[in-house]
Structures are given as C-alpha cells and as structure tokens.
Amino acid sequence: MPEGKIMKALSGFYYVNDQGSVIQCRGRGIFRKNKITPLVGDYVEYQADNDQEGYILDIHERKNELVRPPIANVDQAVLVFSAVEPEFSTSLLDRFLVLVESHQIRPVICISKIDLLDDTKQKKIEQFADDYRKIGYEVVLTSAKWEESITHLKPVLDEYVTVFAGQSGVGKSSILNALRPDLELKTDEISSSLGRGKHTTRHVELLEIGNGFVADTPGFSALEFATLELEDLAGCFPEMVEASERCKFRGCLHMNEPKCAVKSAVETDEIKLYRYEHYQQFYEEIKSRKPRY
C-alpha cells in the first residue's frame, strides 16, 4: 500500500505527498465514525487511481499532536512574539512555552519587529532574550525588513517539521515571506484600536523551506491548559526542574511547601521572579479548572 505525509488539509480534502507527488485524498468514512480526524503532518497509507481521487486508509501512530493549530508529528515550534505592536508579553510567551513543552516539542523563541525599537526598548528586549537563553532556550531576534536577521532562522528549520505560532499580528507571515518570497502569504496591518492583527491564515499547510517543512498556522492569543495536570506544570519550566532536585519534599509543587529550592532560587534571582509568578498564575488556573467528564 502506498504511503505519504499529509501536507495540507482544506475543505475536507487531504493533500498527501508521496516522494514528491501530491495526491488529493478524502478520509474513509470509518474515521468519522470513530471520531478520528487526519491531521497535517500525519504519515498515512492511501489508495488512489489518480492524483485527484484518493482515499486515506490508515494513519500511523503520532509522536505528538496539537489541537490549535491541528497538526501532528511536530519536531519544534518557533514562537513568534513581536518586540512592539503588539507589545512583547512574557506572560503570553510563557503560556505558549508551557503548552509546547507539555507536548514534548522543542521551542525556539523568535522576537520580531526589532527594527521598530528605540535604544531603551532594545536594551529591555535584549535582557529578556538573555533571560530565556540562560534557561536553555534558543532565541532569535528578527525583522522581516532585515535580510541578514532572517537568514539566522534558516538553519534552525533544517531537517525539522516546524510550527510557527504566536499572537496574531506579530509578523509570522512576513517572516515566512522573507524566508521564501515566492509564497506571497497574505499579511494584514495591525488594527491599532484592538492592538492585535486580523487572522490572515485560513488553513494549515506544510511549506517546504530550505531542507525542512514549516506549518504556517493561524495566529491565536488565548491558550487554555485543557489537559495539563498540576503535578506536570513545573516540568514545563526547565529552570524549575533543575532547582526542584534540591527541594526537601518529593513531589513539591513549589507553592506553600517549606524548604522549597525553587522559591529559594527565586529569592536569589537564579529563577526570574516573573517566570515564577507566571507559574503561580498557571497553577491557580489549572487548579480551578472544571473537571473533565
């Protein structure tokens, strides 16, 4: 049975790449019956009489999957956050990082629109970038108007399936257009009254960029921790994982427990206060989540 990878999903059709040939397929009815949806990034088995009329017969086991955006088998996520317009938000970035870490996906932080900063704001952004690099994250500063800064992203994408995610209006489409000018992805100017961009990406598709594949996905600004459990939250903060080995009690949740090494590390600035405050905020959010039935 021929096999391939779903490169695009649009209006009930799945476009399967099999060694360079793309076959338009539909999903079998059994998938709907079993409430299984083929996803972009899936490795599948299919049958087809021609490149316009194929059927997906089986979906291979996924190493991971995301709900928003709906994509499977992701290696890494480039989280695009603008330095300004909209303003850089460590709270929202940390929310994205936790979501990505919880799916065992490697995050890369990309701070865009650097060309719009004055000297004071640039120093502030560079300090944040340094904070995240010390945690162990790769951080790339870019401007879609600076060709040199965009080239720093290309090696990051090689050999991986990458999701570009982040707030709407932060320049994801602009960056992808700079990486591959032939794409001509639609971009909208930011709405100054709302402080956020309009959604300009309408479907999920894997795009070939260099030696890797990139999904240009809809921008979104609200993320819920629908499946993350309290005891797993600290594991999504790499610097807390390291410090927690020195906590007095096994299973310490770093909130009210005595002799907590994480809280001690916050006091000595080994762990940044804003990171710990976001941990507390996410902890309370998960704790107050309605139980799933």
Q: Which residues are annotated as a binding site for Zn(2+)?
A: 247, 252, 254, 260
Give the residue numbers of the binding site for GTP: 112-115, 166-174
Look at the block and give the residue holding tokens 């976001």: 278
Nearest of 121, 165, 175, 172 to residue 145 by alpha carbon: 175
Give the residue numbers of the binding site: 112-115, 166-174, 247, 252, 254, 260
Question: Would you say 175 and 144 are in contact if contact means Cβ atoms under 8 Å apart?
Answer: yes
- State the Cα–Cα distance between residues 214 and 211, nearest whole angstrom: 10
Question: Would you say 207 and 215 are in contact if contact means Cβ atoms under 8 Å apart?
Answer: yes
Nearest of 66, 64, 72, 63 to residue 14 by alpha carbon: 72
- State the Cα–Cα distance between residues 225 and 228, nearest whole angstrom: 5
Alpha-carbon dihedral of residues 64, 65, 66, 72, nearest 10 degrees?
A: 110
